[in-house]
Amino acid sequence: MLTEEQRQEAADSLLQAEKTRRVIPQLSKTYSDMTIDDAYDVQRRWAEARIKMGARIVGRKIGLTSRAMQQASKMTEPDYGVILDDRLYCDGAAIASNTFIKPRLETELAFIMATDLNGIGCQVHDVLRATDFVTPALEIIDYRTEVPRAIVDTIADNAAYAAIVMGGRPVRPFDVNLRWVGATLSKNGVIEETGLSAGIMGQPAAGISWLVGKLAAVNDGLKKGDIVLAGSFTRPIDIAAGDTAHADYGELGSIGVSFR
C-alpha cells in the first residue's frame, strides 16, 4: 500500500509523461508494493488534474475484456478508466499523431446510457434496458509508462485510454444481436485485424455489467448520457503520421480517420 504522497507523486509523473510525450518507468517498479486500490486512486488523482486543466469526464472505458486483448497485453483481468471530452473525435477526423506517445487503434462498441445505472448484481438485461443506443467506436490507446506492464501500471495509466473516435450507425440495443457485430480494421487500405463482439466476455454488455459492479464497490455508477466503451474485440494496430485507418462494421456502418 502506498502513502498519500506516493500516490500523488505517481499521478503527477503520469501527467508529466503525457505532457512531454516521454514514457516513465513502470510504476510497479518504482513502487513495488503498489496495490490495485493504489492504482485506481492514482488514476483518480490523474483525472482530477486533467479536469482542473479544463477536461470533462463524459464516460467510462473498459479494457482487457476480450481474450485477444488479454493476450496482447499479457493480462488476465479487465480494468476500467474514464473518457475525457478533450480527446473525443468524430468520423472523418484528421488527428495530430504527436498528441500521443506511441498510439494504437482498436475496434469497439460504445454504449450511450439512457438512465443512471448502479448497484451490486447488475445483469446484462439491466445494461440493455438502461442503454439508449449502441454505436461503433475506435479507441486510441497509448502507454505513458515503459513495458512490459503489470495490471497496476495499466490501471493507474487510465487503462491506457488516449482518445475515442465515434461514427457509424447508432442502433437500439434490442434491434441487433450485439454478440454478432463484427468489424474489419484496415490501415492504409490493408485489413490488419478482424473480430466479433462476442469476444468481449461472450456479450459486450457483459463487460458493462462487470463495470457497474466494480463502480458500486466504490459508491459510484454510470450516469445518464455517459459514453461507455465496452472493450476491444480486435488486437490493436500501430498508427503514425501519414496513416489512414478504416473500420467496417457491416450493417452498423464504418469509421474512417487519418493521422497527420
Q: How far is CA 146 from the centre of its chain?
A: 19
The domain that contains 189 carries what CATH number? 3.90.850.10
Pick from 42, 63, 73, 79: nearest CA to 148 = 73
| Contacts of residue 53, Cβ cutoff 8 Å, sequence gap at least 6 | none
As beta bridge partners, residue 54 has none
The burial of 30, by beta-carbon neighbours within 10 Å (0-12 exposed, 13-18 middle, 19 or more buried), is given as middle
Could you give the C-alpha distances from 77 to 29, 132, 137, in angstroms and in order? 20, 27, 22
As beta bridge partners, residue 113 has 131
pLDDT over 90 (residue 152): yes
Mean pLDDT, all residues of the chain: 95
Q: Helices 36-52 and 4-20: crossing angle, nearest 10°?
A: 50
Helix (H) or strand (E) holding 156: helix 151-156
pLDDT band with cut points at 50, 70 and 90 for residue 64: confident
Q: What is the pTM of this model?
A: 0.95
Residue 185, all three cell numbers: 480494421
Q: CA 142, CA 101: separation in Å to the nearest integer? A: 7
Domain count, the chain: 1
- Domain housing 64: 4-259
Could you give the C-alpha distances from 149 to 9, 186, 195, 215, in angstroms and in order? 19, 27, 25, 23
Residue ranges of alpha helices (H) inside the chain are 4-20, 27-30, 36-52, 67-73, 124-130, 151-156, 204-216
Cβ neighbours of 198 (radius 10 Å): 18
Q: CA 154, CA 180: separation in Å to the nearest integer? A: 29
pLDDT over 70 (residue 123): yes
Residue 82, all three cell numbers: 474514464
**Cβ contact 204:110 at 8 Å:** no
Positive/negative CA dihedral, 7, 11, 12, 13: positive
Average pLDDT over residues 38-44: 98
Per-residue model confidence as pLDDT tens digits over 93-119: 999 999 999 999 999 999 999 999 999
Per-residue model confidence as pLDDT tens digits over 1-11: 999 999 999 99
